[in-house]
Structure 1
Amino acid sequence: MTLAFLLTSLVVVATPGAGALYTVSVGLAHGTRASVFAATGCTAGIAPSMLAAVTGLAAVLHSSAVAFQAVKWAGVAYLLFLAWVTWRDRSELTAGPTASAPPGAWRIMRTAVAVNTLNPKLTIFFFAFLPQFVDPARPAVGQMLWLSAVFMAMTFVVFAGYGAFAAGVRTTVIRRPRVVTAMRRTFAATYVALAARMAVTTR
């Protein structure tokens, strides 16, 4: 493992995307504990892309326009669904003893897994990214699995940090209903923007 790999991975992980956005929204709405579940789900959602890259399935997405388009449009539809749910949400954000119970851990993680799994660019990224840091003199599969594990660990730490920060400012935010409404609309608009960006992606 090289410093270049660590720095490149950190830049990729820290760049806000659908997974980071979802984790932040969960942290704002439900607190630190819920955001950790979201970060866990987003991290787990990397596994299918990692396994696809290691086993060569990413080559299918790269070479088959039909397969790539199918996964891409499923991801677009899911992001638009999240935008619709977020925009229509009228529930109050509360903190303390009267706070409403957040969604169950499994529900949060299932949504987070779907956000990252339904992103064909993540699979292509792994397919193009990992080989650059593989030593040809050593078994490739073991190296790719190790590098992927490090990438996933970095994802969890960074996303959990995003969620914890969001949860930290939650008390201040929820005291201002207009801020909450603006926040939800901003998240919804960002989901739409991410969906639009994914929709125009060819490879």
Structure 2
Amino acid sequence: MSIELWFAFLLAAAIVIAIPGPTNLVVVAYTLRRGRRAGLTTVLGVLPGIATAMMLSFAGLGALLAASAEVFTAVKWAGATYLIYLGIRQWRAAAAPADLPGSDDKPGADDSNAQGRMLRDAFLVTLLNPKGIIFFSAFFPQFLDPGRPMLPQMVLLGATFLLLVLPINSAYAVMAGALRSRLAEAAWRRMLNRIGGGLLIGAGLFTLTLRRS
């Protein structure tokens, strides 16, 4: 793969990752609810979700989703239902003391359990997006040099994509955390929970509108 082709992929992938979608919204929602540290933890759940989606795509699931309406619909409904569930859970969450400023640096007794839930949620939301798996099947081949071995190129593009996900999604967490830090009152925190929950519910409803390309 030429350096020019790699740079073209780098630019295109950065734009794609930066566009708001279910994964970014999960990061924002958890940041608004629990703080910047929680948002950055959520990013760590996004990475294995994307890596798994890539491997499934390269293994042929992307082509199956594009060809089979039944499989696509099943994955779509699973992903949408999970997003809506997360949105409702966040909407109903109270602005508890653990949500107050400074909680980012003072983990609670259930901190490890909360981190596990955040990692799980980010992983599943990222994985249960049929368009994401199809995207990798359609996007990556455009930047592969047919005159060179495929596997090293696919590994390079996959690693590049994952390395871009980390800073871009972390930027979402930092920006949402800056907003949250300015709003200390419980009433404002409840509003932020509902904003985050509404975003997730909206992402779930949008997922239901997806159609195979």
Q: In 2, Cα distance between the equivalents of 1:132 and 1:39?
A: 27
Q: How does 1:8-27 map to 2 (within 5 A)?
A: 8-27=12-31
Q: Which moved more, 1:128-137 or 1:183-192?
A: 183-192
Residue of structure 2 equivalent to 1:196:
205
TM-score, normalising length: structure 2: 0.87
Q: In 2, Cα distance between the equivalents of 1:31 and 1:131?
A: 38
8 Å Cα contact 1:48/1:117 also seen in 2 = yes
Q: How does 1:10-159 map to 2 (within 5 A)?
A: 10-92=14-96, 93-96=99-102, 101=108, 102=111, 103-159=113-169
Residue of structure 2 equivalent to 1:166:
176
Give the deviation of 1:99 after TM superposition.
5.9
- Are 1:176 and 2:176 matched, yes or no? no
Give the deviation of 1:134 after TM superposition.
0.2
**1:149-173 C-alpha deviation (Å, 9 max, x unpaired):** 1111111111112212322343312
Q: In 2, Cα distance between the equivalents of 1:122 and 1:186?
A: 24
Percent identical pairs in the alignment equals 34
Structure 2 residue ranges without an equivalent (≥5): none
Which letter does structure 2 place at the counterpart of 1:181? R
**For the aligned residues, what is the CA RMSD?**
1.9
Which letter does structure 2 place at the counterpart of 1:146? L
8 Å Cα contact 1:54/1:145 also seen in 2 = no
8 Å Cα contact 2:31/2:176 also seen in 1 = yes
Question: 2:207 is paired with a residue of what secondary structure?
Answer: helix
**1:43-70 C-alpha deviation (Å, 9 max, x unpaired):** 2110121002222221111111111111
Which letter does structure 1 place at the counterpart of 2:11? L
